Structure 1
Amino acid sequence: MEYLKIFFMNTALLITVAYLANLIYKHTISHAPETVKKASWVVLSIFAGWITILFGYRLHENAIFDLRFVPLIISTLAFPQPFILIIIGVGIGLTRLIFGMNEAAVAGVLNLSILGFVCAGLSYWVRRTTVTIVGKGLLIILVVNLMNAVNIIVFGVIPDRVYITEIMPITLPAGIVLSMLFSLIIRDFQLDLQRTGQVVRANKLLSAQAEELHKNKIVLEERAKQLMLASQFKSEFLANMSHELRTPLNSIINLSQIIEENDQQLTPEEITEYGSIIHRSGGDLLALINDILDLSKVEAGKLDVVNEELNVSEIPELLALQFTVVARKKGLEFNINLSEDVPAVIHSDPQRVQQILRNLLSNAFKFTLNGFVSLNVRMIERSEGQALKRWVVFDVQDSGIGIAADKHTVIFEAFQQADSSISRKYGGTGLGLSISNDLAKLLGGYITLSSKEEQGSLFSLYLPL
């Protein structure tokens, strides 16, 4: 009966150690790195083995009977890694030497070391088998208890007949039953730990989802503001558009009606003047319609770009013919400069390049009351990663009203201008820069802006070579 008392005491001690370890784990190392957790488990297992030896049954001065192998059984299920199990087996065995250096102590070291290697072998089976956790536990408990008995018979200091007939019939069944009992208790701790972990993970997930919902709410609110602003800008655009459409149409309708009703009374000079106004109004109307069509094609992804040879030297000449008269009428200085290092021919879409530059120059003349407007064509080289990329740059600079820094991005968006009152003061729909920006991207380039209020603007069109 003494064996059973000591074995029950060992089980109680192991349960106490497991309970305290569970508390420590929850409040200290539950969030530690995996290596720290494994090291802590090894230390705990060796300590549990040592404490069972401390309160083991001393058959005589040297032989001690206890459940020191139980922490090794639990470790095989908890951390089925051969190296860890060998360390635990050898470590528990070495603690036996604390209680005296003798033949029984050496046998104890040898016994636990062998059990460590046996459990290391079982760990391969544990990781690969599809057997349930209960089945794994039963097999490991039986194998370890039987191997412990065999080792005592082979290496122990107690006579084989005495051990087999008097001790093993009590210690082997008791060891198996108490190992199962302790394993069930540890399993309950493990399930409780898993439930706690699931709750913690669920709380983290809910917090992350709540944070994500909050971010999405902010994004949706921002999007709603953008949609509201877009609606406002489109309303302003439609108001400007109706004005822009009505002005040339009224001129065409009224002047053509005057010519029709007073054909005989009008002088040739008046008819010529009226015809010129009608022609100019028709041109303005056509340009406006073309802008709207270009914008719709770009947004629909159906605007075709034709890459062909573009004579760079011809562009300044064509633009000079178109804008020199405008500059003269407004009393502005108009300069065009072409750098010598610019290649004579590049591959791009001539029509779209000229359209972009016309839009930029039109805006420059529109918003410049005095001073100058210039067009400079130059070459630059830029490193992009390991490659050196060459660009042709068209700089359109003016000394006009300039653009506030916070409006530099807005003016490139469709239906928007730096100031809605600009359209009333200077005319226009605000589509030119948006179309030009989209066309530049289709050509593989981009447009940059440098401007300050009342200090003029510099728009630069970059086209790749």
Structure 2
Amino acid sequence: MEFSKIFLGNTALLVTVAYLANLIYKYALSRTSSSVKYVSSVLLIIFCGWLSMFFGYNVSENVIFDLRIIPLIIATVSYAEPLTLVIIGASIGISRLLFGINEASIAGCLNLCILGVAAALLHVWMNRRSFGLITQGLITIIVINLLNCLDIAFLGVISAKTYFMEIMPIALPLSLVLSLIFSLILRDFQLEGNRMVQIKHSNVLLSAQAEELHKAKIVLEERARELALSSQYKTEFLANMSHELRTPLNSIINFAQLISEPDEGRTKEEIAEYGEIIYQSGQELLTIINDILDLTKVEAGQLEIVNEDMNISEIPQLVAMHFEHAAERGNISFEIQLDERLPQTMYTDPNRVQQILRNLLSNAFKFTHDGQVKLNIRLERLGSTDQKEDWIVFDVIDSGIGIPKEKQAHIFEAFKQADGSISRKYGGTGLGLSISRDLSRLLSGYIEMESEEGKGSRFSLHLPLIGSEAFYLHNS
């Protein structure tokens, strides 16, 4: 009867310690490192073994019966390293010597050391067999309890006959049952802990998902605003197109009608002037149609790039042919400067380069009332410190009206201009910069812009010189 009371008391103590350990882990150790958690759990197992002995049943002055093997059983199915089981068994055994060194304590210490080695070997064997956790627990409880009985019988200070006949029939069944009960209780603690960890993990995931959904909502709202703006810009663009297309068409129709009507008082000079207006209106109309077609081809990926050697020294003459008259008409100074370090030729698409420059210069003259427009062509080394490359830079500089900072982010986008109303003072489709940007990318380059309202603008076309026939002007 005393065995039952002591063993039940041992079990109650172990359950209490397990509960307290669970609280300590939840509120003190859960955020510590894995090594701290590991060492703390091992020390707790050893402490439980010592506690069982402290409240054990004294059969005689030196002989103590208790459930010190239960912590070792729990450790066998809890730890992955067999060496840890040997350390736990030896440590619990050594703690037996703290109650006095005598024949019984030495036998008890040796018993736990043997059980620690046996638990390690049992752990290795069960892992190789791939047993489930419940099966491992049952095997461990039976094997450790039976081996403990044999050790006590042959190593203890009680004779084997007395132990087998009087003590083991009571102690072994109690130890087996209480070991199983404590294991189930501890398993319930473990499952509760796992549930808490899973709930915490689920909360973290839900928080992350909520954050992602919030970000996605913001992105969708921003995208909706962009789509609404895009729709607005396209509506304005269509309205502008109707205006831009009707203007030259009306000029062509009206002046063609005047020429076709017989009028003896009309002079040859007037007819020639009408023809010039028809020609210019046709050119304007062709430019608008070409812009729309080019933009459509770029967006569809159907615009062809034909690379060949382009003579850089011919660019000033080609540009001057297009813009000298505009400069004279607007009383604007037009300068072209070439860096003497420039190569004679570069390998690119000459037509597309000229198209970009025409677009940039057209805008420069359009938005410059007085002052000057410059085209500087220079050589520049760009890139990181270790990988610098030669680039040809075409700077189009004007002293015109400039672009407000809040409008600069949109001027390269199709259908957008600094002023999108039909009554814009300067006219145009608003596609020139968008097309120029896309063409520069197809040529492996890019366009940079600097502008200040009221002080003019600078658009710089950067094109790589890789593959160019690089002999230089000052050496030719």
Same-fold call, TM cutoff 0.5 = yes
Shift of 1:422: 9.2
Shift of 1:197: 2.4
Higher mean C-alpha deviation, range 360-369 or range 294-303: 294-303
Shift of 1:153: 3.5
- Structure 1 residue aligned with 2:41: 41
Runs (5+) with no aligned partner, structure 2: 466-476
Letter in 2 for 1:395: D
Rounded to whole Å, the distance in 1 between the matches of 2:408 and 2:128 is 64
User: Contact 2:243–2:422 at 8 Å: present in 1 too?
Assistant: no
Alignment of 1:46-445 (within 5 A): 46-127=46-127, 129-262=129-262, 265-384=265-384, 386-421=386-421, 424-445=424-445
Rounded to whole Å, the distance in 1 between the matches of 2:219 and 2:86 is 56
Shift of 1:373: 0.5
Letter in 1 for 2:335: N
Residue deviations 1:262-286 (CA, integer Å, cap 9, x gap): 3655322122111111111111111
Rounded to whole Å, the distance in 2 between the matches of 1:18 and 1:281 is 94
User: Contact 1:444–1:464 at 8 Å: present in 2 too?
Assistant: yes
Shift of 1:461: 0.7
Shift of 1:354: 0.9
User: Contact 1:415–1:429 at 8 Å: present in 2 too?
Assistant: yes
Letter in 1 for 2:160: D
Letter in 2 for 1:323: F
Letter in 1 for 2:29: I
Letter in 1 for 2:284: D
- Structure 1 residue aligned with 2:468: none
Shift of 1:288: 0.6
Alignment of 1:20-35 (within 5 A): 20-35=20-35
* Cα gap change, 1:134 to 1:414, in 2 (>3 Å): same
Shift of 1:73: 1.4
Identity %: 59
Shift of 1:52: 0.5
* Cα gap change, 1:57 to 1:391, in 2 (>3 Å): same
User: Contact 2:450–2:458 at 8 Å: present in 1 too?
Assistant: yes
What SS does the aligned partner of 2:336 have?
Answer: strand
Letter in 2 for 1:254: N
Q: Matched residue pairs, number?
A: 465
Rounded to whole Å, the distance in 1 between the matches of 2:78 and 2:262 is 107
Rounded to whole Å, the distance in 1 between the matches of 2:372 and 2:316 is 16
Residue deviations 1:354-402 (CA, integer Å, cap 9, x gap): 1111111111111111111101111111233742222111111111111
Rounded to whole Å, the distance in 1 between the matches of 2:51 and 2:298 is 81
The RMSD of aligned alpha carbons is 1.9
What SS does the aligned partner of 1:462 have?
Answer: strand
Shift of 1:128: 5.0
Shift of 1:91: 2.4
Shift of 1:343: 1.2
Rounded to whole Å, the distance in 1 between the matches of 2:207 and 2:448 is 43
- Structure 2 residue aligned with 1:5: 5
* Cα gap change, 1:406 to 1:151, in 2 (>3 Å): farther
Rounded to whole Å, the distance in 2 between the matches of 1:386 and 1:322 is 41
Rounded to whole Å, the distance in 1 between the matches of 2:182 and 2:435 is 78
User: Contact 2:236–2:421 at 8 Å: present in 1 too?
Assistant: no
Rounded to whole Å, the distance in 1 between the matches of 2:148 and 2:430 is 91
- Structure 1 residue aligned with 2:472: none
User: Contact 2:240–2:421 at 8 Å: present in 1 too?
Assistant: no
Rounded to whole Å, the distance in 2 between the matches of 1:394 and 1:124 is 76
Rounded to whole Å, the distance in 1 between the matches of 2:90 and 2:422 is 87
Higher mean C-alpha deviation, range 336-345 or range 96-105: 96-105
User: Contact 1:416–1:430 at 8 Å: present in 2 too?
Assistant: yes
Rounded to whole Å, the distance in 2 between the matches of 1:435 and 1:156 is 97
User: Contact 1:77–1:126 at 8 Å: present in 2 too?
Assistant: no
User: Contact 1:45–1:88 at 8 Å: present in 2 too?
Assistant: yes
Rounded to whole Å, the distance in 2 between the matches of 1:313 and 1:146 is 101
